[in-house]
Amino acid sequence: MLALVPLRGPVAVSPPTAEQERALAAAASGRATAIAAGAGAGKTTLLVEAVWRDLERDGVLLDGVLVAAYNRAAAAHLTARLQARFADPDDGRGTTRPGLDLSAAWVGTFHALAARIVRENPFLAGVDPEFGELDETEAAALREQALDDAMAATLADPGFLDLVTDATSLQGVRDATAHVHERLRAAGHERPRIVVPEAPGPTDGQRAELEAAVREAAAHPDARDDHREQLLLATELLLTGEPGPKPPWLSRNCKAAFLPLAERANAAAAALYGAVLDLEARRQLLGFAANIEAFGERYAELKRERGALDFEDLLLAARRVLRGRHPYRFRRVYVDEFQDANALQAEIVDLLDAERTVVVGDGCQAIYGFRHADVEHFMRRAGSPPEVTLRDNHRSQEPLLRALNALLGAALRDEPAFAPLRPAAGDRPGPVLAAEPLEVIDVVSEDGGKATREQEAEAVADLVGELGARGYAWPQIAVLFRSLTEVEPYRAALAARGIPAHLVAGRGFFAHDQVADTLALLALVENPYDEAALVRVLASPYVSASDDDLVALRRRAGDSDRGWPSEGALAPAARALDATRPALEAAEALRPLLRDRGLPGLVEAAAAARGYDLAVLGLPDGARRHANLRKLVRMAADFAAVRGPDLRGFLAMLGRMAEAGDQDPGEATVVDPDLDAVRLATVHAVKGHEYPAVVLADASHGLPGTYPAVLTDRDGAASIRVARVGGDPVYALGYGDRRAAARAADEAEERRITYVAATRAERHLAVVGRSSARGGTAFTTVCEALVTPPLERRVAAPAGPRTRPRVEPPPATEAAAPRAHRPPEPDPVAGRRLSFTALDALATCARRFHLEHERGLRGGPDAVVPAAAAAGGAPSAWGGAAAGDVVHAALAAHDWAGPAPAPGWAAAAERAAGLPPSPADRERAERMVAALLSSDLATRIRGGRRRLAEEPFAIAVEGAVLSGAIDLIVDEGGGRALVADWKTHALAPGDSAAAVADRYRLQQALYGLAALRAGWEEVTLAWAVLEDLPGSPARIVGAEDAAALEAEVAAALAPLRLEARPPAAATPQPFCTGCPGLEAMCPVALSRA
């Protein structure tokens, strides 16, 4: 069905046709070639072949070719096809390079290519070297903020003040600001500025003439009251010099004698009015210019702070790079769909200055004017008539194509790019071709009045049904629209006939109940006093309060005597009633999520609150409704990425987007390429695709009637439509001409859209419209152009009564409660690695263990419990564990077969370890080592066969790996070992070596177990308290103790299986020193605070 789908089947690359060969030859012979390729002419094949030849035949390196595609999908498809072209060893068309990695090739959209250029050359571009790219919502989030800030600032400008004060809608001024700014940037303006035309102002002659005319008319006996009213306005105009709502105008329906006077007065008033209006318009335009500037600067500033570039920034920055001495020497540049390039993109192509540049396009398919594309760039390059053309159409069956040529030839007779297409599709299998493969249907109402959209929708649905009956599968039929704003009746009509329909990308995102409901709940989360949101939530499936519940709520809140209820009373009342309380409770429950899960997490939770998502899924078209909720989450994520978790800001932005109209992000889509359903889509959405049968619906769709208040040309020259208080807006400073030009361009684009739509069809095309509804549309042009086939009129029954429909939930079937398919919980012990220190920490305080060992936190400098320093013996200048480290290091390095270290050794150790000089600590360390070396234990150690100092070990207990380093293992022979651990504790009065050693039973169990597992059969565990060696106990364990030791160790692991990790204390304890929980995350922190 779709032309660009290597997604669901093998990627095939067909050899070029003779016509394509001619185009390739032309491209190969020139420095700059423009190929005019009609619809279905096989441009992708051409491009793939051209690049393949460059690389394989001309020896161009991969990074010497640049291909710009019109969107990401097209770029990726192109890459896929190129890869296939290189990977296919059997096509007999020359060498292949399987495995050629095209990911490094310069194939992409203009934006992706520009981004790469800028990323490689940020300094030439003058951008943040760490820049990030803004997507659409992110850019909108910053744009809206910049608009707010700019408007607030520019209001100090008198001209802008006038503009805003005279306009009836601030939104209009906002929209115009954003629109003009974007248009000028697309045209290549780095810092958009508008050019404000001079206005000479009224002349004395104009004033004198009006004065005279007024005097003359007022004095005339035939002047009526209404004439006098107008003359009064004229006098006001003369006196104030301010243009009123409209120029004074004396009715010409008057006595003949008075007529010349009225005409003279009207002409004089119009001249003077025009002159003062121009002055006023200029003032306002200057104000507008100031606002554009302020907006541009603020927007740039917000982006700068965030290191962000939007789409236009990327192109502008790439141009800056390319305008300078840049490093790129492309040998080949190819640009697809060049008719949709804007001025900036066209300039970039020129600046690339490749050895050979080939642009491919079709002037008839230029349909992105609304995004500031300009077909002229292509037309200029292609020439008139175009020199290199592809006219073979490989898509439409011949009878259809003949009809299309006739129809489109007439409809596009003023389009210089149009040329008939040559049939080249051959016979493709499919439903039998109709005798008239092209139908044009005008829907008329039975009662002779204007046919309604609903009536047209019925006709379209009938037609689709007929196509189905003729053998077209549903997915083979596409119903195309100019825009999807009014698609609902068509969906309804198809649904009524049981025809499955799939909307490819709808509009009206904000109008969907589920979007509005969720936003209302979020507004309640932000502030429960938002009563408008409260009412919406109450009536929504979140609560589904009945009308009676709502009345009860109002009564509870109190209705004042004056008839106006007091403000802010609903929220407290809602809390008091069972039927309404859930709304506020839901909002309250969601509040903490903003911090815990961020803005998107909050939005996601809001969409699921009280089973809302389930209710929505249970409504007709549930998947689609649900997809809209998902889209809202994505928008929240984008927003938060640049503006943080600012819920109010998010709601405000969406509110403005909803108001602006042209910022509808579009309804979310649920996509299934296999879905057995008719496709409903915009013409823009199916560019590059093809369908066996196409119905172009709503063909009498009119052009948008309104244009922004300020219109500019590409150079920024501006005109304005001045809003007049109490009157219609008035065109000034050439606005009328600019508007007419814009309209003509839109009309031409409208015809091209018809062309694009019509040429999507392979076998059958139907164009459906209502000539009675609107004249002067593309449809009327088509109807007028019709010679063959004849215009068919379908008469529709009058539309039924009009009440706003309610969504009827379909009946539901009872079923058993579901059981989720949960993965098994992994064992919290197995697979862990714990050092003895960690194990000890776990035994001391499970919370601290969690913080340090499971969360990787460390205590900060404030994590000190003062009492701890004083505990046990004299204070140490070395501090903490340093004495132990020094002693351990000395003993680890000690050669047990040699002499004891020379006295004074601790001074060197102190220096090496960078410790503060402390004679007392040095003396103590040396004393402890000396004591050990002269002890019985030392004698026993020296008697061993082999000694392993600081010996690392690891064993597994219950699947956990426990590791550590044993101070000393002595192999005593005969399967016996001595395991020693040095304890450097300062013994407090009343403390004993036995007591200290007892505190290390877990350590003993672990080390003992390790030694037994290492193969010794009897292990002496000597925990040597160096301050009291004679008092230090020894414990002997053997193989028979292994199970008990393991159980002891396993018991220490048990807290890992606890859900929570309870803290060991509620107030600071000595063992809390250094714990991250001290600063927060443990009740101790609160007791400290």
Partner 1 sequence: MFPPGAILTWAPAFSTALPLARERWRDHGGLLVVPRREDAARALGAAVADGSAALGREAVTFAGLRGRVALAAGVREPEPPSAVGVRLALRAVLDGADLSAFGASAEAPGFLAAAERAVAELRAARVAPARVEAAAATPVARAVAAIHAAAWDAVPMASDALWAAADAARAVARFPPVTVTGFDDLVPGQWALLHTLAQATRVEVVMPFDPDRPAFHARRARQERWAAEAGSAGREGAPAGAGYAGLAARLFDAVPPAPDPPPVRLVGAAGTRGMLRAALDEALAAVDCGAPMGRVALAVPRLAEVRDDLERLLDDWGVPARLSSRVRVLEAPLTLALTHLLRLGELDPAAPGALDHLLGWLRTPYSGADPAEVDRFEADARRGGVATRGPLLARWEGVAVAPARRLVAAAERGPRAQLAAMVDAGWEALRRAGDAAGLPRRADLRDRAALTALAGLAAAVDDAGGAAADDDAPPRPRGPVPPGTVGDLVADLTFLAREEPPGGLEIHDLASLRGRDYDVVVIAGLDGDGYPPGPAADPLLADLRAPLADVLPRRAPSTSEGRLRFVHAVDAARAGLVLVRRTVDDEGREVAPSPYWLEACRVAGRDPGALDLAAGARGEVPDAPDAARSERDALRTMALDGLVAPGLLAEAAARRSRAVGVAADAFRYRERLRVTELESYLRCPYGWFRDSVLAPAELEELIDPRFEGTVAHAVLHAVYEGMAAAAVGPCTEATLDAYRGALEAELPAVSARLRPAGAGPAFDALQERLRRHLRALLGREAALGSRLVPTHFERGLESATLAPGAVVTGTVDRLDVAPVGGAALVVDYKRTGADFNPAAEDVVRRLQLPVYGALAREALGTEAAGGLYMGMLSARITGAVRDDVPGAPDARRVPREVWERITAEALDAARQAVDGIRAGRLEPPEPDACSHWCRCEDLWR
Sites of contact with ligand SF4 (CB under 6 A): 845, 847-848, 1063-1065, 1069, 1071-1072, 1075, 1077-1078, 1082, 1084
Closest to ligand SF4 by CB, 585 or 1079: 1079
Neighbours of 668 (CB within 10 A): 23
> Which does residue 848 touch among partner 1, ligand SF4, none (CB within 5 to 8 A, set by kind)?
ligand SF4
Closest to partner 1 by CB, 554 or 743: 554
Specify the stretch interacting with partner 1 by CB under 8 A; choose among 270-278, 382-390, 450-458, 955-963. Answer: 955-963
Q: What is the spatial distance between Cα 676 and Cα 695, in angstroms, rounded to a whole number?
A: 17
List 14, 168, 837, 934, residue binding partner 1 (CB under 8 A): 168
List 343, 425, 434, 619, residue binding partner 1 (CB under 8 A): 619
Interaction of residue 1060 with partner 1, rule CB under 8 A: yes
For partner 1, how many residues bind (rule: CB under 8 A)? 239
Closest to partner 1 by CB, 211 or 513: 513
Phi and psi based region of residue 359 (left: phi greater than 0; alpha: psi -120 to 50; beta: remaining):
beta
| Closest approach of ligand SF4 to the CB of residue 1049, in Å | 22
> Which does residue 1078 touch among ligand SF4, partner 1, none (CB within 5 to 8 A, set by kind)?
ligand SF4
For CA atoms 5, 8, 11, 14, the dihedral sign is negative
List 585, 854, 958, 1017, residue binding partner 1 (CB under 8 A): 854
**Residue 360 main-chain phi, psi, to 5 deg:** -120, 135
Interaction of residue 828 with partner 1, rule CB under 8 A: yes
Cα–Cα nearest to 341, from 350, 332, 354? 350
Q: Say whether the peptide bond before residue 385 is cis (omega within 30 degrees of 0).
A: yes
List 427, 803, 874, 898, residue binding partner 1 (CB under 8 A): 803
Interaction of residue 528 with partner 1, rule CB under 8 A: yes
For CA atoms 134, 137, 140, 144, the dihedral sign is negative
Closest to partner 1 by CB, 29 or 103: 103
List 291, 518, 540, 1004, residue binding partner 1 (CB under 8 A): 540
CA-based angle 15:18:21, to the nearest 5?
75
| Closest approach of partner 1 to the CB of residue 852, in Å | 10
Residues 6+ apart with CB under 8 A from 823: none
Q: What is the spatial distance between Cα 452 and Cα 770, in angstroms, rounded to a whole number?
A: 8
> Which does residue 970 touch among partner 1, ligand SF4, none (CB within 5 to 8 A, set by kind)?
none
| Closest approach of ligand SF4 to the CB of residue 871, in Å | 15
Three-state SS string over 128-187 comes to CCCCEECCHHHHHHHHHHHHHHHHHHHCCCHHHHHHHHHCCCHHHHHHHHHHHHHHHHHC
Three-state SS string over 955-1022 comes to EEECCEEEEEEEEEEEEEECCEEEEEEEECCCCCCCCCHHHHHHCCHHHHHHHHHHHHHCCCCEEEEE
> Which does residue 1075 touch among partner 1, ligand SF4, none (CB within 5 to 8 A, set by kind)?
ligand SF4
| Closest approach of partner 1 to the CB of residue 88, in Å | 10
Amino acid at the residue 614: L
> Which does residue 304 touch among partner 1, ligand SF4, none (CB within 5 to 8 A, set by kind)?
partner 1
Please, are residues 435 and 397 in contact by the beta-carbon 8 Å criterion? no
Structure-token match 């709808």, residue found: 506
Through-space distance between the first and last CA atoms of the chain, rounded to whole angstroms = 69
List 282, 372, 507, 626, residue binding partner 1 (CB under 8 A): 626
List 119, 283, 381, 983, residue binding partner 1 (CB under 8 A): 119
Specify the stretch interacting with partner 1 by CB under 8 A; choose among 182-190, 409-417, 483-491, 550-558. Answer: 550-558
Interaction of residue 568 with partner 1, rule CB under 8 A: yes
Interaction of residue 447 with partner 1, rule CB under 8 A: no
Closest to partner 1 by CB, 250 or 778: 250
Closest to ligand SF4 by CB, 67 or 851: 851
Interaction of residue 513 with partner 1, rule CB under 8 A: yes
Cα–Cα nearest to 1069, from 844, 752, 846? 844
Cα–Cα nearest to 976, from 920, 1030, 1038, 1027? 1038
> Which does residue 974 touch among ligand SF4, partner 1, none (CB within 5 to 8 A, set by kind)?
none
Closest to partner 1 by CB, 22 or 1013: 1013
| Closest approach of partner 1 to the CB of residue 561, in Å | 7
| Closest approach of partner 1 to the CB of residue 267, in Å | 21
> Which does residue 1064 touch among partner 1, ligand SF4, none (CB within 5 to 8 A, set by kind)?
ligand SF4
Neighbours of 563 (CB within 10 A): 6
Closest to ligand SF4 by CB, 769 or 1063: 1063
Interaction of residue 301 with partner 1, rule CB under 8 A: no
Half-sphere exposure of 5 (CA within 13 A, CB side): 11
Q: What is the spatial distance between Cα 426 and Cα 638, in angstroms, rounded to a whole number?
A: 48
Neighbours of 1059 (CB within 10 A): 5
Amino acid at the residue 211: E
Q: What is the spatial distance between Cα 615 and Cα 609, in angstroms, rounded to a whole number?
A: 11
List 92, 810, 866, 898, residue binding partner 1 (CB under 8 A): 810
Interaction of residue 674 with partner 1, rule CB under 8 A: yes
Closest to partner 1 by CB, 38 or 601: 601
Interaction of residue 434 with partner 1, rule CB under 8 A: no
Closest to ligand SF4 by CB, 641 or 1064: 1064
Interaction of residue 251 with partner 1, rule CB under 8 A: no
> Which does residue 411 touch among ligand SF4, partner 1, none (CB within 5 to 8 A, set by kind)?
none
Specify the stretch interacting with partner 1 by CB under 8 A; choose among 178-186, 343-351, 597-605, 775-783. Answer: 597-605
Q: How far is residue 658 from each of residues 144, 171, 175, 510, measured CA to CA in Å? A: 12, 11, 12, 6
Tokens encoding 1019: 């292990």
Site string for partner 1, 387-426 (x = CB under 8 A): ----------------------------------------
Strands 946-957 and 960-973: antiparallel
Q: Please state at what angle helix 593-608 crosses helix 647-660, rounded to 10 degrees.
A: 40
- Report the residue count for the chain: 1089
Q: What is the spatial distance between Cα 549 and Cα 583, in angstroms, rounded to a whole number?
A: 13
**Residue 35 main-chain phi, psi, to 5 deg:** -105, 120
Please, are residues 1063 and 847 in contact by the beta-carbon 8 Å criterion? yes
Q: What is the spatial distance between Cα 50 and Cα 68, in angstroms, rounded to a whole number?
A: 14
CA-based angle 900:902:905, to the nearest 5?
110
> Which does residue 1072 touch among partner 1, ligand SF4, none (CB within 5 to 8 A, set by kind)?
ligand SF4
Closest to partner 1 by CB, 149 or 436: 149
> Which does residue 1079 touch among partner 1, ligand SF4, none (CB within 5 to 8 A, set by kind)?
partner 1
Site for partner 1 in 306-365 (CB under 8 A): 306-308
Tokens encoding 133: 């790219």
List 138, 439, 698, 921, residue binding partner 1 (CB under 8 A): 138
Closest to ligand SF4 by CB, 1008 or 1077: 1077
> Which does residue 845 touch among partner 1, ligand SF4, none (CB within 5 to 8 A, set by kind)?
ligand SF4
Closest to ligand SF4 by CB, 936 or 1059: 1059
Site for partner 1 in 95-114 (CB under 8 A): 97-99, 101-104, 107-108, 112
Interaction of residue 819 with partner 1, rule CB under 8 A: yes
Residues 6+ apart with CB under 8 A from 488: none
Q: What is the spatial distance between Cα 886 and Cα 869, in angstroms, rounded to a whole number?
A: 19
